[in-house]
Structure 1
Amino acid sequence: MMNKVILTGGGSAGHVTVNLALIPKFREAGWQVEYIGSENGIEKQLIEPLGDVRYYGIATGKLRRYLDWQNVKDPFKVVKGAFQAYRLIRKRKPDVVFSKGGFVSVPVVLGAWLNRVPVIIHESDLTPGLANRIAIPFAKAVCTTFPETEQHLDKGKARYVGAVVREELAHGRADKGRMICGFTKHKPVLLIMGGSLGARKINETVKAALSRLTERFQVVHLCGKGQVDPAIKHHSYKPFEYLNEELPDVLAMADIVLSRAGSNSIFEFLSLKKPMLLVPLTKEQSRGDQILNAQSFEKSGFCEVLYEENMTPLSLAESLEKLYANRETYIRNMEGQRRQDALEQLFELITETAAAGGK
């Protein structure tokens, strides 16, 4: 009988990328892969086009850090989602459930636990997010990206594996990236990634600084859904809502990167040795995890950090020019980073857990 895994995670692209990295491993090993996500989240957009991964949408809610009527209704959505996940998992009978986090994962983990299906969780950030904190008691193991995360977990469950990076990112071609964007070899390339959430402030500041940025750089800008401004026309500026299949080539072309400080993205830049300017989400916008991620990378000499409250068109342009001028130092620091095969370790732990069943 074919082994089966159900993957979950969503709400932002960062809660899907590790699952996207794992799917080819499961395919190669002959596993059946299914996915439980929200009914209309970004995870549905990213997973459904794969074709051979069956997608199931369930109800889900989230905890907002501000007063909102949805905070009253969302706990009922989580309960509904848990019943939906319980019935799905009982019917589909997976050998194991792997959760990448985000609020859609909470009802799925509960549904798996109620069906006595073992659960493995992955935590990308330095400290666990609320969804994972709720789910961890129901999991067999929690895999971490940062070694420091083990301090926040039950030592019997923590497994430090390092950063999981999609293998296809290493195979990008700079010449294809330039062809996609219409860029030349003779001017450095700045890649701007605001993330699937929280890109608005970066987008506004980039727009205000664009005339100076395009004097020095060719700019490829991943703006987020609905954020491309059709009024901006410049031969050194190429905006996209997001990129999927083309992303490895565009990354290969980039000389430096401006980004939020989500863990999955910054470790991908690290693996590709891309000097980065990080603008972490503020504590008002998040739980502060991106600030910790950025500070950890800054301490290791991998990046410059520009805090959003200090970000102006002038400070942004000056910080990027400084980053480019010192790019060789950052590249040398990143070359000294010891790498381990986190994807293989994670895959092996999931398969071993599936083989052991509920034991």
Structure 2
Amino acid sequence: MNNRLPKRIVLTGGGTAGHVMVNVALIPHLRARGWEVHYVGSPDGIERDLIARIEPPVPYTAVKSGKLRRYLDYRNFIDPFRVLQGSVQAARVLGKLRPRAVFSKGGFVAVPVVWAAALRRIPVFLHESDLTPGLANRLSLPFATEVFVTFPESAAFFPRKKKVVPVGPIVREELLRGDPARGRSICRFSSHRPTLLVMGGSLGAEPINRTLRAALPLLDTFQILHLTGRGRIDPAVRAVGYCQREFLYDELPDALAAADLVISRAGSTAIFELFALRKPMLLIPLPRGKGRGDQVENARYFADRGWARVLPEEDLTPERLTEEIRRLYREREAYVRRMEAAAGNLGNGLETIVAHLETLVR
């Protein structure tokens, strides 16, 4: 490593909010230690929107990328060429920036950036939030200097010759500063009724949206803030105590603070954020067939430790959803106690990752 280079790092990752939020959490900590941060993502992915909200602004460069699909699609024959094109673009960007490291959170946009870093002989650090590695990280693995993992058990899924560092969960610190009163004001909710927050991820989850709306007459004791995902609000659905938003940015910490219960998919970043906030959660993981099964494994891990209840999507009906919500509410204090008891053993991922990156400049 050439220590005469500026203390500069390139972050990459995208496709879903879960592939961006770890980077968002890292940026202020890197800047506080003197790192100059740049981001390389896709031209129109959610990562561009999320990074654009950071102040002071983070320089953002877009490169082309294909989507890594696990099903038959004619675009599977086209996208490898897009990945190669993106790698050439990324190599030019990295040649101009000359960063000391590339940190990849995964997602399909990260692959050409990691490959370009390997061509430029730039150290690559990967982060895997889920229990098992995703396809993008598996394609990037041969070029990684170190692999950071959230779950200690994840080390078993990587080659032994690779340096795998369990770091624990990474949680955006602003989530810990939410205000319940401001959260209730988003939808003019009362402090005298329990609040249920429902979120299906940045892209939304239509089976959850549909079933929740059908269950609204059965859930009249709750006031419900429903994060539907982009373009998924149904203006025809109206009920007392029911409020729809596509997505929350700055208001999300307040909404989480106001929530007594949360329904969520089971992406690792999201559920560890809920864990950090000690929110009783009902997880409805993306099923195998629609995904690679990582959410099913994440949800089982949480359920086995008594940190969450799990409702498989194939069992999702208005009646079953109502039953699970009511049971979770009755038992909410037990879930909070179990999360409290386990919290001290998980570690602080932000501190560990930044410490490893700091070794580059010593």
Paired residues for 1:104-253 under 5 Å: 104-155=109-160, 156-197=162-203, 199-213=205-219, 215-253=220-258
Identity of aligned residues (%): 51
Give the Cα separation in 2 of the matches to 1:22 and 1:342: 10
Calculate the TM-score normalised by the size of structure 1: 0.96
5+ long unaligned stretches in structure 2: none
1:344 paired residue number: 351
| Aligned residue number for residue 69 of structure 1 | 74
Rounded Cα–Cα distance in structure 1 between residues aligned with 2:18 and 2:279: 18
Tell me how far apart the structure 2 counterparts of residues 161 and 290 of structure 1 sit (CA, whole Å): 20
TM-score w.r.t. structure 2 length?
0.95
Amino acid at match of 2:253: P
**Which stretch of structure 1 is more off in the superposition, 9-18 or 236-245?**
236-245
What does residue range 19-98 of structure 1 map to in structure 2 within 5 Å? 19-50=23-54, 52-98=57-103
The alpha carbon displacement at 1:197 in A equals 3.1
Name the SS of the counterpart of 2:165 in structure 1: strand
Instruction: Quote how far apart the aligned CAs of 1:273 are.
Output: 0.5
Q: Give the structure 2 partner of residue 101 of structure 1.
A: 106
SS at match of 2:53: helix
Q: Which amino acid aligns with 1:260?
A: R
Work out the CA distance in 2 between the residues paired with 1:309 and 1:159. Answer: 35
Is contact 2:204-2:230 (8 Å) kept? no
The one-letter amino acid of 1:168's match is E
2:285 equivalent in structure 1: 280
Q: Counterparts in 2 of 1:253-292, with a 5 A limit?
A: 253-292=258-297
- CA drift of 1:66 comes to 2.1
Q: Give per-residue Cα distances to partners, 1:77-105, cap 9 Å, x unaligned.
A: 00001111111000111111100000110
Deviation at 1:2, TM superposition (A): 4.5
CA distance in 2, matches of 1:197, 1:260: 11
Residue 281 of structure 1 contacts residue 291 of structure 1 at CA under 8 Å; is this kept in 2? yes
Asked whether the 8 Å contact 1:146–1:160 carries over to 2, the reply is yes
The 8 Å contact of residues 6 and 100 in structure 2, kept in 1 or not, is answered as no
Distance (whole Å) between structure 2 residues aligned to residue 157 and residue 246 of structure 1: 38
Q: CA offsets per residue over residues 176-198 of structure 1, 9 Å max, x none?
A: 11112211110001010101235
- The answer (yes or no) to whether the contact 1:38–1:104 under 8 Å persists in 2 is yes
Number of residues of Structure 1 aligned to a counterpart in Structure 2:
354
The CA distance in 1 between the partners of 2:154 and 2:123, in whole Å, is 22
